[in-house]
Amino acid sequence: MRASAYRVPTEVAEADGTLAWSATTIVVVQAEVGDVLGLGWTYADGACAALVHDVLAPVVEGGDGLDVPAAWLAMQRAIRNLGRPGLVSCAMSAVEIALWDAAARLLGLPLCRLLGRVRESVPVYGSGGFTSYDDQQLGEQLQRWVFDQELAAVKIKIGAGWGSRADRDLERVDLAREMIGSRAELYVDANGAYGTGQAVRIGRRLDEREVLWFEEPVSSDDLSGLRRVREAVGADVAAGEYGYHLPYFAAMLEAEAVDCLQADVTRCGGFGEWLRAAAVAAARNREMSSHCAQNLAAHVAMATANVRHLEGFHDHDRIERMFFDGTLDPAGGEVRVDMSGTGHGMTFKEVDAERFRVS
């Protein structure tokens, strides 16, 4: 098993309501299983590569390539004293994804079929609209999604400056609505920038603008705050991208904090943990939505009856097209998997990625 980290500069400086960045790190894991090579990755600090080499690989190497849940359980036990949430879970996710990819390739099956496909396609929405964009940059991105790719929904960031520029947030929402008209649904993501009272006030203004999705209006750790916002506004409240294990998702659902539960396959523990979270959500009549890494999430989403859509995140779309052959085309507002292929269908363009390698 091999793991390498790569740091890819953004095209321009980017920011949301609570963070700014100029590069994205991706940790790529390759698992040799028999005659096939499985591929997985996570978007996290390069330290994940050392976790794979030093902690996770020793407990999965030598196992049966088809027994992916057994490998996951071995990793779960091995990391007891390191703590599951955070980078450890990201590293586990990348390994587990690579192992599932290898297993599907060994069997000559597309990954979604091995996981138990229930649908032929999954809707995808455009995600970006960073608070650091000027009006022209925002407009060009929205037009590309809605008029060129014909996506049925788009999401922009709000909550600029930790919620200190609410008037500007609403101006950007108005601009987005003007650009897309009624051709697409409009979503927003505050990345936890607002306090509860402010989020309620903003949410009511968003309702007037027919915004249908209000992501992380307050910190995703504030379950009572999420529920208060959810009860006060018309838009669906969503959160869950920082879920690193099943108890996190269960607690969020128990608190009735969200209308739609988000999960990130490259953070939560991989495909198996996603499916367990989806089952818990289904028990409460809630849908799932993927957070980022859309080309990986598509396969498990196709095996999830209660999935709503995939997030087509701008940064990850760009990196995955740069690093991997076989990425999916979101044109028309949905993605489909090539059912004649094997695994998740992607291969690593290692030579192209080499210039970004940091470990």
DSSP 328: P
The domains of the chain, with CATH numbers, are 2-108+347-356 (3.30.390.10), 114-335 (3.20.20.120)
The confidence score (pLDDT) of residue 255 equals 98
The model's confidence at residue 349, banded by pLDDT at 50, 70 and 90, is very high
- Going by pLDDT thresholds of 50, 70 and 90, the confidence category of residue 355 is very high
By percentage, how much of the chain surpasses pLDDT 90? 100
Q: What is the largest CA-CA distance in the chain?
A: 58
Nearest to 123, CA basis, from 358, 344, 345, 336: 336
Please give the share of the chain, as a percent, with pLDDT higher than 70.
100
Parallel, antiparallel, or unpaired: how do β-strands 236-239 and 211-215 relate? parallel
* The model's pTM: 0.97
Instruction: Check if the beta carbon of residue 265 is closer than 8 Å to that of residue 293.
Output: yes
Angle at 11 (CA atoms; ends 9, 16), nearest 5 degrees: 90
**What is the per-residue pLDDT across 129-176, written as a single tens digit (0 to 9) for each?**
999 999 999 999 999 999 999 999 999 999 999 999 999 999 999 999
- Residue 94 makes CB contacts below 8 A (sequence gap 6+) with 3, 27, 28, 29, 40, 41, 42, 48, 52, 266, 270
Angle, helices 271-283/68-78, rounded to nearest 10 degrees: 90
Interval 179-231: pLDDT, tens: 999 999 999 999 999 999 999 999 999 999 999 999 999 999 999 999 999 99
Determine the distance from the C-alpha atom of residue 252 to the mean position of all C-alpha atoms in its chain, rounded to a whole number: 17
